[in-house]
Amino acid sequence: MGDYDSFVAKFHTATGIDLTQYRQSQMERRLTTLRDRRGYANFTHYLEAALRDADLLAELMDRLTINVSSFYRNPERWHAFGAWIAKNREQQGTLRAWSAACSTGQEPYTMAMVFSEFMTLSQMEILATDIDPHALGVGEHGVYSRDDLEAIPASVRERFIHVFDDTKDRFNDELRARISFRLHNLLRDDFPENLDVVVCRNVLIYFTDDAKEKLYHKFSRSLRPRGILFVGSTEQIFHSETYGLSQIAPFFYTRMP
């Protein structure tokens, strides 16, 4: 077994993360740059060191999880998403939504703010999951730099956000209480069921075609009939009917009844 393949196998055993399901060229390139920067000649030595040194391992995890996110990422899509949900909401009961691979929380908070335009907070229940416990910690704390929060419309900021310190603000308790942050590996763990909405954006691009296909089936089964799947800007699903999903607009799919 080659150096990288043996690293992938040992890393899977140590962390539960199966890198064979991520696109190899991209992942190997990202990890090689970091390994070289830390002065290790091969992956075997690098992993041995990382498993003994929590900071080195955290840095390696950070490199492979790619946590980039922002509030109202692609605002026009969030606008379309809100309008569609408002129009098609069938009952006045609780709306159950999942932000899958939520990173540091910008996505589930955006979802909650968009929903708040047409329902009370007590009518929404948002599950936010990621493989990265540090990212989840940020989301749970709900504190962000004022610059990052600028993307949120001022009236919405006034309603949900208060000053935390000189440079940061925090989402209020009422909004934070609508979101549950949980550790979850999309490639390994069971999926929740009977959801009205699944948002999974900017993570499927990192996976192999095989892994993606399995995930489309699982997302489809997670949704109740007519539930909505919202994917990222470069993540259109080809032949979505194969997965029981019908496209309703670019980047939006509904589970066929």
Q: Which is nearer to ligand SAM, 106 or 222 (CB)?
A: 106
Contact partners, residue 185, CB within 8 Å, separation at least 6: 16, 17, 131
Compute the least distance from the CB of residue 185 to ligand SAM, in Å. Answer: 5
Compute the least distance from the CB of residue 39 to ligand SAM, in Å. Answer: 26
Q: Which is nearer to ligand SAM, 103 or 254 (CB)?
A: 103
* Residues making contact with ligand SAM (CB under 6 A): 65-69, 73, 101-103, 106-107, 130-132, 135, 184-187, 201-203, 232
Compute the least distance from the CB of residue 42 to ligand SAM, in Å. Answer: 24
Q: Compute the C-alpha angle 43/44/49, nearest 5°.
A: 95
Residue 187 in tokens: 């490639």
Q: Which is nearer to ligand SAM, 42 or 180 (CB)?
A: 180
Q: Which is nearer to ligand SAM, 175 or 200 (CB)?
A: 200
Compute the least distance from the CB of residue 254 to ligand SAM, in Å. Answer: 20
Compute the least distance from the CB of residue 188 to ligand SAM, in Å. Answer: 7
Q: Which is nearer to ligand SAM, 8 or 203 (CB)?
A: 203
Contact partners, residue 208, CB within 8 Å, separation at least 6: 20, 21, 22, 23
For residues 70 and 152, give the distance between their C-alpha atoms in angstroms, rounded to a whole number.
Answer: 10
Q: Which is nearer to ligand SAM, 3 or 62 (CB)?
A: 62
Residue 22 φ/ψ region, left for φ over 0, alpha for ψ in the -120 to 50 degree band, beta for the rest = beta
Cα dihedral sign, 81-73-33-44: negative
Compute the least distance from the CB of residue 244 to ligand SAM, in Å. Answer: 22
Amino acid at 193: E
Selection from 123, 224, 125, 254 nearest residue 180 by Cα: 125
Selection from 134, 113, 126, 144 nearest residue 180 by Cα: 126
